[in-house]
Amino acid sequence: MKRTLLRVFALELLIAAALLPAACVTSGGALNPAEKAGVEDLVNRFSDAMSRKDLDGAMACFWNSPELIVVLFGNTQRGYETVRGGIAAMFEQNETVKLTVSEISYVPVGNMVMAVGTATYDLKPKGGPAMQLVERWTDLEQKIDGRWVYVLDHATMVPR
């Protein structure tokens, strides 16, 4: 009898542990119009800056903090300066970069917005043939000092 009660209790704990994180993330419903306009503007500013190979413009879209996290294809970059170096290297290695972002879904989470989407990079490496990379991404965006910025970005390459 005690063993059965312990198993039932353990199962209830496992179920509660699985459901608790979902219960703690409150979205508060859909984005309000100002939030939606702000995060859509962020996506457009970032895409435009990347496509112009404008390093300062691209970096203006990120949180200027050592706490910034970007995970690209399994590699973690921590901090604003590290991310800046990664983007600078990408620009240096490619004659052209064109970024197209699509299929975006937004979920408000506290004072942040979580976004999920697809991005396509059309690249022309220096001395090499043109190539296309497609990624699925998830990021967290927050309004800091009056502007929306990426505070966390995680991308996974879509296999061909």
Chain center to CA of 38: 15
- Both tokens of residue 154? 């995680």
What are the CA-CA distances from residue 80 to residues 138, 149, 152 (Å)? 18, 12, 11
Contact, 57 vs 91, CB < 8 A?
no
Q: How confident is the model at residue 21 (pLDDT cuts 50, 70, 90)?
A: very low
Q: What is the DSSP letter of 62?
A: B
pLDDT of residue 15: 34
- Both tokens of residue 55? 């390093």
Average pLDDT over residues 45-61: 98
The SS3 call for residue 107 is strand
pTM here? 0.80
Residue keyed to tokens 């509660």: 16
Helices (H), the chain: 2-24, 33-51, 55-59, 80-93
Domains belonging to the chain, first-starting first, are: 32-157 (3.10.450.50)
Give the tens place of pLDDT for each residue, 60-99: 999 999 999 999 988 999 999 999 999 999 999 999 999 9
The candidate with the shortest Cα–Cα distance to 121, out of 144, 147, 93, is: 93
| The pLDDT of residue 102 is above 50 | yes
Q: How confident is the model at residue 31 (pLDDT cuts 50, 70, 90)?
A: confident
Q: How far apart are the first and last CA of the chain?
A: 55
pLDDT of residue 130: 97
The rounded distance, in Å, linking the Cα atoms of 126 and 138 is: 29
